[in-house]
């Protein structure tokens, strides 16, 4: 048998895996002591929500100035919440884009002109419903799949180095 088993989906179609990938990026940026301004373009979809902005600032204030090799569990959970919100919003945008493209093509087939299509498409589309993945599942994936060249260290690694 070649490929995935019947009924399975691509890893990137699973929203928990996408959120875990985003969380890994946020964890690495946190450990690298990147400034908020350096990574905020990554989260521009969340910029409209003041709660997410406050969460970002809270995580970075907790960073402090000392060198860190591990992310505290409370900060890791908050960064995973941000990653889940970001992945959900990306999925919403993708669904919306695909629906709009399909509607445009359908309207073109029906014989509408470009101006008429633009007028029809300018009406506010309904927001697609996307179920967010469970934070616990994302935390488990983040703990299991650290990037290859990571700044993270396990607690036993620090003990062995002393």
In a domain, 36, yes or no: yes
Q: What integer pLDDT is reported at residue 70 of this predicted model?
A: 82
Choice between 125 and 148, residue whose per-residue pLDDT is larger = 125
Confidence of residue 159 (pLDDT cuts 50, 70, 90): very low
Band the pLDDT of 161: cuts 50, 70, 90.
Answer: very low
Asked if the structure places residue 113 within a domain, the reply is: no
* pLDDT band at residue 144 using 50, 70 and 90 as cut-offs: confident
Residue 53 lies in a domain: yes
Average pLDDT over residues 80-102: 90
Q: Is residue 42 part of a domain?
A: yes
Report the pLDDT value the prediction gives residue 49, as an integer from 0 to 100: 74
Instruction: Report yes or no on 48 lying in a domain.
Output: yes
Cβ-proximal residues to 28 (8 Å cutoff; 6+ apart), any chain: 147, 150, 151, 152
pLDDT for the residue numbered 160: 44
Which stretches within the chain are classed as H helix?
A: 15-31, 36-39, 50-61, 73-109, 114-121, 135-144, 155-161
Question: What is the number of structural domains in the chain?
Answer: 1
Residues ≥6 apart with Cβ < 8 Å to 12: 18
Alpha carbon distance 47, 140 (integer Å): 27
Question: Is residue 79 in a domain?
Answer: yes
Give the model confidence (pLDDT) of 57-80 as tens digits. 888 888 777 777 788 889 999 999
| 81: containing domain | 13-91+133-155
Min mean pLDDT across 53-62, 126-135, 136-145 is at 53-62
């Amino acid at each position: 048998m070649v490929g995935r088993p019947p009924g399975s989906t691509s890893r990137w179609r699973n929203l928990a895996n996408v959120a875990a990938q985003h969380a890994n990026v946020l964890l690495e940026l946190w450990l690298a002591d990147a400034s908020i301004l350096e990574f905020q373009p990554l989260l521009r979809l969340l910029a409209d929500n003041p709660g997410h902005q406050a969460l970002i600032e809270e995580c970075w204030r907790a960073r402090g100035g000392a060198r860190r090799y591990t992310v505290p569990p409370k900060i890791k959970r908050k960064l995973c919440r941000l990653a889940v919100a970001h992945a959900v919003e990306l999925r919403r945008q993708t669904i919306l884009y695909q629906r709009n493209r399909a509607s445009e093509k359908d309207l073109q087939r029906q014989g509408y002109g470009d101006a008429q299509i633009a007028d029809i498409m300018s009406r506010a589309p309904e927001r697609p419903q996307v179920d967010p993945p469970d934070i616990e599942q994302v935390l488990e994936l983040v703990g299991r799949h650290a990037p290859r060249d990571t700044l993270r260290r396990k607690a036993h690694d620090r003990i062995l180095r002393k």
